[in-house]
Amino acid sequence: MSDNTRVDTTELGEKIVRVIKTVYDPEIPVDVYELGLIYDVMVNEDYEVRVIMTLTTPNCPVAESMPKEVEDKIKTLKEVKDCEVEITFDPEWTKDLMSDEAKLELGML
């Protein structure tokens, strides 16, 4: 991609969400986006991505591998220059953060 080629950041944001939706919690058959684990996705003018996410619990068995998987998958997008995933537990994850689709999948609706 040349420096004078502009990327629609809204379109790029949608691509990022689509790729995040390919990452699944190994214990729950729902992707991390629908689980409500992704709190924010930011793209700056240099196409560097910053994701703020959480885990279902602080001692989640995939605490190291899941954020790395999210980061690695986002970096596969040719428009993305770099990606950083930050873990937070504020606010703490609750089932209320799950999408209706996730709740339906898990028999909670």
Task: List the domain boundaries for the chain.
Answer: 9-91
Q: To 5 degrees, how large is the angle CA 22–CA 26–CA 28?
A: 90
Q: Which of 44, 47, 53, 48 is closest to 20 using CA atoms?
A: 53
Cβ burial of 75 (10 Å; 0-12, 13-18, 19+) is middle
Q: Is 50 strand, coil or helix?
A: strand
Quote the strand ranges of the chain, DSSP E.
38-43, 48-53, 82-87
Residue 35's pLDDT is 95
For the chain, residues with pLDDT lower than 70 are 1-6
Fold classified for 9-91:
GMP Synthetase; Chain A, domain 3 (3.30.300)
CA distance 62 to 69: 10
